Amino acid sequence: MRRVIVMCVVLSGLLVAVPARGQQLQLPDLSRLSASATDVVDVSVDQALLGMAAAFMGNGPDDAQVKSLVSSLKGIYVKSFTFAKDGAFDPSLLEPVRRQLATGQWSRLMSAKSSKDGSDMAVYLWRNGDRPGGLAVLSVEPREVTVVNIVGSIDLAQLQALQGKFGVPDLELGDTKGPKGPKGPK
């Protein structure tokens, strides 16, 4: 999952401010995935929650940078499921997500599929005309399914300041040029 998060961080540097309508994925009921998963991560932070959290921050230089980033976001939504064995979930449960990303203003930026390890990942950008405004990642591996949706404007340099705050993990970004290489086993 770390590779998915790092990819989201790198690609989210492309985002600019546009209305949030349409950028947020409408996820189907994924309770059947939750029922068979050994680990579940469900992050749903909308603009109001981001604003309330920012109000409790201090006035230091790092805090100002985080407040600036938070003010430009409309929401961060992550659903990730880890399973004890390969093939423990029905991949057809993700078809509504794939259909949504294949229509409208979503454009696939990249995809990677491996028959060797059974992984399938795609990154999508939401567009308003020629302006990007949202990011989605769908990653399916034999033992893990992750859906990420970032809504709003974000600057990679600012994202570095967000690490360790609001439940955002340390993404090990030493600079704003992106990942420095392999981080070892997941």
Tens-digit pLDDT profile for residues 47-88: 898 888 778 877 877 777 777 777 777 888 889 999 999 989
How far apart, in whole angstroms, are the C-alpha atoms of residue 72 and residue 158? 11
Tens-digit pLDDT profile for residues 102-145: 987 888 988 999 999 889 999 888 877 776 677 788 999 999 99
Tens-digit pLDDT profile for residues 153-186: 655 455 566 566 654 545 444 544 433 333 333 3
Q: Assign residue 45 a region (left: φ > 0; alpha: ψ between -120 and 50; beta: otherwise).
A: beta
How far apart, in whole angstroms, are the C-alpha atoms of residue 114 and residue 132? 28
Domain boundaries, the chain: 2-162
Residues 108, 137 contacting (CB under 8 angstroms): no
Residues 105, 91 contacting (CB under 8 angstroms): no
| pTM for the predicted model, two decimal places | 0.69
Place 19 in a pLDDT band, splitting at 50, 70 and 90: very low
Q: Which of 15-24, 62-71, 141-150 has the lowest mean pLDDT?
A: 15-24
Percentage helix, strand, coil for the chain under 3-state DSSP, each rounded to 5? 30, 30, 40
